[in-house]
Amino acid sequence: HSEQPDAYGHILGPLSNELDNTLRKIDNIIGQLMNGLKQMNLHRCVNVILVGDHGMEESHCERTEYLGSYGLNVDAITLIPGSAGRIGPKSASTPCEHISVKLSCKMPNQHFKPYLKQHLPKRLHYANNRRIEDVHLLMDRKWHVAIIPSDCGSSINQSFNQYSNLSCFSQTIFLGFGPSFNFKTEVPVFENIELYNVMCDLLGLTPAPNNGTHGSLNGVLRSPPYTPTQPEEVTSPTPLAPPTEVTHDLGCNCDDEVSDTHTHTRVFSAGQWIESVLVHRTTLKKVPRGFLPLLTDR
């Protein structure tokens, strides 16, 4: 494991030109590894995986929320700043619910939403441990949180790790090289939890139960040892009932249908009556000229 470029990335920022030297050093280290394998004639025998654990995003003081602006007693809490603020009370006299309420919908342009840890989105898998802070602030993209403005530049680094695996800034690299990997193959984006099953396949081990989907990365392997199968049906399918015969016989003939719906109208000369009759459905009505006939059912 290498602490770089993560450590310098937080100090310099992910887009800093000064970070190039750090990346060159890492590239040289990887080159030494591959040259060493080739010198020992092991480069066609050993599978190598290079993978990052997270991405990185720039941070700026002008895109920082300060908890001191929300009427919260900042002396009674601890905050781990960043793109996902984590808050804990310093004593039991400060209820977590009180902290969450104090930070909920207080500003018209508020760039975070507070959560008690048990209410965090399930996709984060970040609730069932006593070491997890009680209150969490999920920030808008490119926004960060600190206690007070004077913290900017000290507790606020030039970049932060993205907490959300839905953000493109949380994505990182995956490179596989060796006899078990397909050559020059590019695969779609996947979650890092899938790598455990791949590593077990490379080592000839049976994976322990995990949250990955075994076989989802078979496309990177030349001869994947495991092929996923569909689970057996618990119950056999029920045959469909034969279609019922559709009938159009309504018990009447066309003449009856036509005669029930025809309207006959006679218009007389000016000053006389307008007579309208709806056969079998209306009574005869006589109305003065200039008015429409009013139809009523029998």
Question: Among residues 151, 179, 206, which one ends one of the domains?
Answer: 151
Residues 178 and 209 in one domain: yes
- What are the distances in angstroms from CA 56 to CA 13, 21, 82, 149, 223? 9, 18, 12, 23, 34
Question: Among residues 91, 116, 151, which one ends one of the domains?
Answer: 151
Residues 193 and 268 in one domain: no
Question: Among residues 90, 116, 151, which one ends one of the domains?
Answer: 151
CATH of the domain at 42: 3.40.720.10
Tally of domains within the chain = 3
Amino acid at residue number 4: Q
**pLDDT tens sequence across 23-75:** 999 999 999 999 999 999 999 999 999 999 888 877 778 888 999 888 888 89
CB 159 within 8 A of CB 10: yes
Residues 41 and 111 in one domain: no
Residues 173 and 45 in one domain: yes
Residues 113 and 186 in one domain: no
Give Cβ neighbours of residue 229 (< 8 Å, ≥ 6 apart). Answer: none
Q: Which secondary-structure segment (H or E) carries 275?
A: strand 274-278
CA 181, 182, 186: angle at the middle one, nearest 5?
A: 110
**Does residue 249 lie within any of the structural domains?**
no
Of the pLDDT bands very low, low, confident and very high (cuts 50, 70, 90), residue 198 is very high
**Does residue 236 lie within any of the structural domains?**
no
**Does residue 164 lie within any of the structural domains?**
no
pLDDT computed for residue 182 by the predictor: 96
Q: Where are the alpha helices (DSSP H) in 106-177?
A: none
Q: What is the pTM of this model?
A: 0.65
The two structure tokens encoding residue 66? 């300060």
Residues 67 and 204 in one domain: no
The Cα–Cα gap between 57 and 41 comes to 40
**Position 256 pLDDT exceeds 60:** no
Residues 68 and 206 in one domain: no
Distance of CA 195 to the CA centre of its chain: 21
The Cα–Cα gap between 208 and 206 comes to 7
**pLDDT tens sequence across 164-191:** 777 777 788 999 999 999 999 999 999 9
Range of the domain at 203: 6-56+169-220
Residues 67 and 46 in one domain: no
The two structure tokens encoding residue 263? 């309207």
CATH of the domain at 95: 3.30.1360.180
